Amino acid sequence: MDSNYPGFLIVLEGLDGSGTTTQSGLLARYLREEGYSVVELEEPGGTELGRQVREILLEDRGVGIEPLSELFLYEVSRAQMVREKVIPGLKKGKVIISDRFAVSSVAYQGYGRGIPIDRVKSLNEIAVGGLEPDITFYLDIDLHEREKRSAGKRPDRIEKEKQDFYRRVREGYLAEIKALSDSVLIDGSSSKKEVSRKIIERVEEEIVDPG
Ligand SMILES: Nc1ncnc2c1ncn2[C@@H]1O[C@H](COP(=O)(O)OP(=O)(O)O)[C@@H](O)[C@H]1O
Ligand SMILES: [Mg+2]
């Protein structure tokens, strides 16, 4: 366990459509059945303030949002969630599952939007205050699979971005995940069940009974 808290922090990362929300739900259900006390969070969101920020970020109301402003908004949501939900939960020994976390900003606002990577990381550091996930899963899908899964769905403000944006985000994810300790790359294009099985297998290996 990385943090000095009795709980366990699991992060799911990936392109939109990679299955982070699906897998967060499946993992939470499994762990609850195993008797763990689980908190499911998402970014942006996870708190009331975060949900309000999420609306600004994802609803396309035609309001101009500069890349740097976008980054700050994500950090607002993150800073609030870490202090209001993540740390208190970890102190109580809960298993926290976060659908996206700091690496998302490196991939999307850094590699995707072009903000210098070290700047994104400095702001992440301020927002999370040194907290590191115990394990980060990156669900890798290619751009074709992403397009397929988003077909027929109303895209949010970020999802309206072009293939080229997502190509940079994926490259960013692949580079960052390789360099990140306690990270696991999973082929997100296999079936939901298969992805879930791989995640659960790894969590079972890593988790220290927080009860
Ligand atoms: N492994 C998978 N195989 C096929 N379709 C999937 C898989 N995982 C998720 N999906 C589908 O892809 C879409 C996006 O999944 P979702 O979990 O919302 O992704 P994300 O939260 O990463 O954007 C949903 O329609 C979901 O049912
Ligand atoms: Mg999702």
pLDDT higher than 90, residue 208: no
Average pLDDT, the chain: 95
> Would you say how long the chain is, in residues?
211
Pairing of strands 183-187, 95-99: unpaired
Q: Is 45 in the pocket of ligand 1 (CB under 6 A)?
A: no
Q: What are phi and psi of 7, to 5 degrees?
A: -80, -170
How far is residue 134 from each of residues 29, 169, 207, measured CA to CA in Å? 19, 23, 9
Choose one of 12, 13, 144, 149 to mutate for the ligand 1 pocket test, by most ligand atoms within 8 angstroms of C-beta: 149
Q: What is the pTM of this model?
A: 0.96
Domain ranges in the chain? 8-206
pLDDT higher than 50, residue 111: yes
**Nearest-angstrom CA–CA distance, 111 and 67:** 11
For the segment(s) 8-206, the CATH number from 1.10.1060.10, 3.40.1160.10, 3.40.50.880, 3.40.50.300 is: 3.40.50.300
Residue-wise pLDDT for 118-161, tens only, equals 999 999 999 999 999 999 999 999 999 999 999 999 999 999 99
State the pLDDT at residue 147.
Answer: 94
State the pLDDT at residue 4.
Answer: 82
Pairing of strands 8-14, 135-140: parallel
**Nearest-angstrom CA–CA distance, 3 and 90:** 9
